A and B are shown apart, each in its own frame.
Chain A
Amino acid sequence: MTETEEKADPPAVMIEPIDISKLDPDFREGIRSMPNGEELSACFACSTCTAACPIANTWKYKPHQLIRMILLGMREEVLSSEEIWLCLTCFECQERCPQNVRVTDIFFDCKNLAAEEGMIPDSIVGLAKELVDKGQLYVVTADWEREDMDLEPEVPGLSTEEFKTILKGTRTGQIVGGDE
């Protein structure tokens, strides 16, 4: 196994391993330095978070794996993962974590980091655009609902203009690619 002439043989592990030296150890420290990341390193991978999560059964990377990946420094994989965006933010994981890791909040931090690097899924960009353009996410279209409840067709006093202005000046505006 240790002899040099055997080096040319096909590798015993056919799947290319993840090279630890190519990972980013600053990623772990970066997340840890944020207010939510204080207890990040306390994670001992019991996977309570994954057990608690109502939707992780369909995820490629489960919550405990994402935390492992942060600890190992797998910056690219975590920030480009769709799971951090699929999170329902129900906080079940965070609530149950025996080591007080702020799992949901850490995913928020990851989303913010990903957004800064422009790694946002199109669906999220679409939502942001909707917000910036219309000042609200769900525009009431089915007026019969209001009619059934004996309400006037238009929401009284609803003004979305201020929201549009504010949102344009925030990160939401940046995501959509408005000012700045």
Chain B
Amino acid sequence: MKTVVSDPVLVIGAGVAGLTAATQLADSGIRTVLVDRLPIVGGNAMDLYKAFPTDDCFYCFEGSRTRPGIRKCFYRSAILDQPNIDLKVNAEVTEISGSPGKFQAKLSVGPQYIDSKKCIMCGLCIERSKSFSLPSPQCQPQAVIYDPELSDEGAKKAEEECPTKAINLGAQPSEETVQISDIVIATGYHEMKPVSIDEYGYGKIPNVVTQLELAQILDPNGKSGGALVRPSDGGQVKRVMMVQCVGSRDENYYPFCSKICCVYALKHANIIMLERDSVQVAVVYMDIRTYDRHERYYRVARDAGVRFVRGRVSRLEACEDGTLDIIAYDSLLDKYLKFNVDLFVLSSALEPPKGSAELIKSLGLHSASGFVGPADSISENAVVAGDHVYVCGAATGPAEIPESVTQARAVVSMILQSRK
């Protein structure tokens, strides 16, 4: 079917894959509507602190450095200056109708309290009210965000005093329908909150966290300034235990291997062992799957003195001083080991994000364990999910950043070919 060249492409999700697809399409002269549910772009990558395999800020991976911008961060200039991208944050796709090549997408856009083009991030509103915050100095769009749930007297004051009049507390949500030619699904993943796995006490014991939560503790932009502290009382952490395969490779939760959690768990273990003062890390695992070249992280972790225990946790008990007594079974030694730790970190399964099932159903796509599967499983076109519907990044299943970028570029290439 011949595509109407002037219709834009809809990219759902502004994470690594979505941003890559949108900027490259835009650079090729194709108008793009880029939609994200959150107020800032970047998706999960914003919360990773250092991203593997480069241990760099995710904005800065190889191959994207030639673009003009601040330092290597090409997405900043891309999103601010690229007229072909129509970025819609706080927005969701509520309905898709029409036929392949001529879809209509109904978008529900949340209230735009802050005009990101006017905001100069002076911080005045943040001083006036805690309903304003800056998620990260590098956030895109470059603007503060407003949470109406935390609204107070100060918020009104901030609106009046804002030097650029960027705040509009009376903003209302809006709806619009856009005519689009192709759909790129880049909805990413969600880290499972393992509240239902009783034996680990997640959600009940404050010092039990997930890997993404740990990454935020380790982030120098975080609350503790990068110091490894206990969520319960802000006390210094001296001993950490991590458990792999929490909800992954488990028929009761997700039967698949979440693929990247071994790598980022060890990335965190290495940061803790090598960049924080005298903290001991133990990792309880079934198999360490640092696939491909990421074996390096495993090797560095062993050299750094991370204790690896092949086995499972048998018992966990919260002590009055905030520490946890943990008994783990070491299947290599056939012995039970007793640990006392300050922080217990769960490498939780990566699950399809909210709304995936509805999206798959409404577009008649194939589900691959809840993620978006290829239209034709025999072909090698992993990124073709349907007629004029593409998928890239972790929307296809757990994926690392370089893989997401590669898939996004593949999608761009296919769309360009279809418009030739």
Flag if A19 contacts B332 (CB, 8 Å): no
With known contacts A44-B298, A45-B310, A72-B307, A18–B317 Cβ distance under 8 A: no
Inter-subunit contact B337/A69 (CB<8 Å):
no
Interface residues in A1-57 by Cβ distance below 8 A to B read: 1-2, 4, 7, 11-13, 15-21, 28, 41-45, 47
Q: Which residues of A contact B299 (CB under 8 A)?
A: 42
- Report whether B332 and A65 are in contact in the complex, using a CB–CB cutoff of 8 Å: yes
Q: Does A96 contact B (CB under 8 A)?
A: no
Report A3 CB to chain B, min CB distance, Å: 9
- A18-B338 contact given A68-B332, A69-B333, CB 8 Å threshold: yes
- Which residues on the A side are within 8 Å of B316 (C-beta)? 1
C-alpha spacing A98/B333, complex, angstroms? 20
**Known contacts A2-B204, A2-B318, A18-B338; A44/B333 CB under 8 A:** no
Task: Point out the residue from A7, A18, A28 that lies within 8 Å of B335, measured CB to CB.
Answer: A18
Contact between A21 and B320 (Cβ–Cβ < 8 Å)?
A: no
Q: What is the chain B residue whose CB lies nearest that of A16?
A: B336
Q: Given the interface contacts A44-B302, A45-B308, A71-B307, does A2 sit within 8 Å of B205 by beta carbon?
A: yes
Smallest CB-CB A-B distances: 9 pairs: A17-B336, A17-B338, A2-B318, A19-B338, A41-B302, A17-B327, A20-B339, A18-B337, A12-B315
B321 within 8 A of A: no
A41 to B201, CA, bound (A): 32
Q: A7-B317, A43-B302 are known contacts; what are 12 more A-B pairs with Cβ within 8 Å?
A: A1-B201, A2-B317, A17-B337, A18-B335, A18-B337, A20-B307, A21-B338, A41-B302, A42-B299, A45-B308, A71-B307, A72-B333
Q: A4-B320, A41-B305, A43-B302 are in contact. Are A15 and B205 (CB under 8 A)?
A: no
Interface residues on B, range: 20 to 34
**CB-CB nearest in chain B for A11:** B315
Interface residues in B311-341 by Cβ distance below 8 A to A read: 314-318, 320, 327, 330, 332-333, 335-340
Kindly provide the distance from the CB of A92 to the nearest chain B CB, expressed in whole angstroms: 20
B317 touches A20 (CB 8 A): no
Minimum distance in angstroms from B60 CB to a CB of chain A: 31
B139 within 8 A of A: no
Given A1-B317, A71-B307, do A13 and B336 touch, yes or no (CB 8 Å)? yes
B107 within 8 A of A: no
A111 contacts chain B at the CB level, 8 A cutoff: no
**B303 on the A face (CB < 8 A):** yes
- Which one of A20, A28, A47 contacts B338 once the chains associate, using CB atoms below 8 Å? A20
User: Which A131-161 residues have a C-beta within 8 angstroms of B?
Assistant: none
Contact partners of B339 in chain A: CB under 8 A: 20-21
29 residue pairs A–B, Cβ–Cβ below 8 Å: A1-B199, A1-B201, A1-B317, A2-B201, A2-B205, A2-B317, A2-B318, A11-B315, A12-B315, A13-B315, A17-B327, A17-B336, A17-B337, A17-B338, A18-B336, A18-B338, A21-B338, A41-B303, A42-B299, A42-B302, A42-B303, A43-B302, A44-B308, A45-B310, A45-B332, A47-B332, A68-B330, A68-B332, A72-B307
A65 touches B336 (CB 8 A): no
How many whole Å from A130's CB to the nearest CB in chain B? 36
Q: Is B308 in contact with A21, judged by CB distance below 8 angstroms?
A: no
In Å, the complex CA distance between A32 and B282 comes to 19
CA distance A44 to B299 in the complex (A): 9
**Bound CA span A28–B320, Å:** 32
Closest CB in chain A relative to B138 CB, distance in Å: 36
Pick the most buried of A2, A4, A15: most chain B CB atoms within 10 A of its CB. Answer: A2
Cβ contacts under 8 Å, A13 to chain B: 314-315, 327, 336
Rounded to whole angstroms, the CA-CA distance of A88 and B307 in the bound complex is 29
Tell me the minimal C-beta distance from B230 to chain A in angstroms. Answer: 16
- Shortest CB distance A17–B (Å): 4
Docked Cα-Cα span, A4 to B320, in Å, equals: 9
Collect the chain B residues with CB atoms within 8 Å of residue A72's CB. Answer: 307, 333, 337
Q: Is A75 engaged at the interface, CB distance under 8 Å to the other chain?
A: no
Q: How far is the CB of B338 from chain A (nearest CB, A)?
A: 4
Residues of A within 8 A of B308 (CB): 44-45
Shortest A169–chain B CB gap in Å is 39
A64 contacts chain B at the CB level, 8 A cutoff: yes
Say yes or no for B288: interface residue by CB 8 A criterion: yes
Could you tell me the distance between the alpha carbons of A43 and B302 in the complex, rounded to whole angstroms?
8
**What chain B residues lie within 8 Å of A16 (beta carbons)?**
336
Measured in the bound complex, the distance between the Cα atoms of B319 and A7 in whole Å is 10
Distance between A99 CB and nearest chain B CB, rounded to angstroms: 9
In the bound complex, residues from chain B placing their C-beta under 8 Å from that of A21 are 338-340
Docked Cα-Cα span, A16 to B327, in Å, equals 10
- Most chain A beta-carbon contacts within 10 A, residue among B302, B303, B339: B302
Rounded to whole angstroms, the CA-CA distance of A42 and B340 in the bound complex is 25
Q: In whole angstroms, how far apart are the Cα atoms of A53 and B340 in the complex?
A: 35
Bound complex: CA of A113 vs CA of B69, how far in Å? 60
Q: Nearest-CB distance from A61 to chain B (Å)?
A: 8
Which of chain B's residues 364-400 have a Cβ closer than 8 Å to chain A?
A: none
